Amino acid sequence: MDTGILHSILDNDFYKFTMQHGVVKLFPKARARYQFINRGKHAFPLGFAEALRKEVDAMAGLKLTIEEKKFLADACPYLDPTYLDFLQGYCYNPKEVVIEQQGEDVQIFIEGYWYRTILWEVPLLCLVSELFYKFQDTERVPDETVIETTKDKIEKFKALEIKVAEFGTRRRHSYQVHRMVMETLCRYGKPSFVGTSNVHFAMINQVKPIGTHAHEWFMFHAAKYGFKMANTMALEHWVDVYRGDLGIALSDTYTSTSFFRQFDKKFAKLFDGVRHDSADPVDFAKQTIDHYRSLGINPMSKTIIFSDALNYDKVNRIASYCAGKIGMSFGIGTNLTNDVGLKPMNIVIKMTEALPEDGEWTPVVKLSDERGKYTGEESMIALAKSVLHIN
């Protein structure tokens, strides 16, 4: 088994770096724990944990290069020079990751300072996915088919006259497939194709890195400030760090209904829009449009980023509804980077506990609009639902 699948520290989703920047500024002593969740109940072959361990150990050698630092400074002026200096000195510590295998079950645990451990999730999922297919020894479709399929997809999206970004890092088939998909999107996608969540491929292809924050940003704030204040404090701190840049707010950490109760006129005006990540997208669009209108804000001045398991039919349905009502853009992930004739994996890594500087280890939860995406301890989920009056 070859080692060293990952070749760049920037081969990660952009929101991991933007959140890390915020954590370094605001919560440098906070600690976090994460856990791998095998949603698809995939059976891992014997020896998988050992192979993954080798890849994780190899990541200790990844360093931000001078060229990569310059790219971030030029493309992302809202990232402080002090943060870029920090990132240049950062290296993965494999000791923060525990990997265990019993039979066909693999478990992964991460623990350490939040500002450090925040970068593990996406590359670990990439490695799990790529190694899984290598162990299966399954043949994907030829390169020509990958390129042709991607070209066909982006041509169809262009016909809808919408904006599309590539969001497929974490469950990609492989680095090689991801690279071909990105090259194809850049070659044939303009003007619809607007960028990627993967910073490494954004740099290589000279496109915009796209992303703001993830559920863990809000989950940590619940551990520090309580469920009632989690959304509000998470949004306040985001504004404190970015002062108007990176203005797309994630809405469904504790259900969108709860989010919109706290997304008042101040936040609705400060943020450029919201991101949809669970449940019916058209229902969410209606809810968002109604919310903006109730605050006297023209929905056409705002944007929804749709990013939940998108394919052409789903995008077409959403675009048909939103046209002329609200701005929209689409982050398409696995459908682009793992459409190679094999079943994509259904895997995630989620924060499970947080330790704020002035607190104690606290279990954290996520209450998506889609109940099947809930994560966390049952007792804590029940508490959150009670506090936030969620049925």
- Tens digits of residue pLDDT in 336-351: 999 999 999 999 999 9
Interatomic CA distance for residues 152 and 264, integer angstroms:
41
Q: Are 194 and 209 in contact (CB under 8 A)?
A: no
Residues 6 or more apart whose CB falls under 8 angstroms from that of 278 comprise 252, 308, 368, 369, 370, 373
Per-residue pLDDT for 54 more than 60?
Answer: yes
How confident is the model over 62-93, as pLDDT tens digits? Answer: 999 999 999 999 999 999 999 999 999 999 99
Per-residue pLDDT for 1 more than 50?
Answer: no
Residue 40: what pLDDT? 96
Q: Are 16 and 321 in contact (CB under 8 A)?
A: no
Domain ranges for the chain, please list them.
14-139+344-364, 143-337
**Of 9, 109, 11, which Cα lies nearest the Cα of 53?**
109
Per-residue pLDDT for 272 more than 80?
Answer: yes
How confident is the model over 185-233, as pLDDT tens digits? Answer: 999 999 999 999 999 999 999 999 999 999 999 999 999 999 999 999 9
Residue 290: what pLDDT? 98
How confident is the model over 112-145, as pLDDT tens digits? Answer: 999 999 999 999 999 999 999 999 988 999 999 9
Mean pLDDT for 14-26 is 98
CATH of domain 143-337: 3.20.140.10
Interatomic CA distance for residues 212 and 274, integer angstroms:
10
Selected from 3.40.190.10, 3.20.140.10, 2.40.128.130, 3.30.1330.40, the CATH number assigned to the domain covering 14-139+344-364 reads 3.20.140.10
Amino acid, res. 46: L
Structure confidence at residue 4 as a pLDDT band (50, 70, 90): confident
Residues 6 or more apart whose CB falls under 8 angstroms from that of 370 comprise 278, 279
- Please tell me if the domain spanning 14-139+344-364 has the same topology as the one spanning 143-337: yes
Structure confidence at residue 2 as a pLDDT band (50, 70, 90): very low
Interatomic CA distance for residues 260 and 126, integer angstroms:
33
Residue 3: what pLDDT? 52
Residue 217: what pLDDT? 98
Mean pLDDT for 296-310 is 97
**Of 12, 31, 20, which Cα lies nearest the Cα of 121?**
12
Can you give the C-alpha Rg of the chain in angstroms? Answer: 20
Structure confidence at residue 391 as a pLDDT band (50, 70, 90): confident
Per-residue pLDDT for 373 more than 90?
Answer: no
Phi, psi of 42 (to 5 degrees): -70, 140
Predicted TM-score (pTM) of this structure: 0.97
Per-residue pLDDT for 35 more than 50?
Answer: yes
- Least confident range from 38-52, 55-69, 340-354, 363-377: namely 363-377
What is the pLDDT of the chain when averaged over all its residues? 96
**Of 78, 74, 117, which Cα lies nearest the Cα of 98?**
117
For residues 52 and 391, the model is more confident at: 52
| Chain position carrying tokens 């095998």 | 38
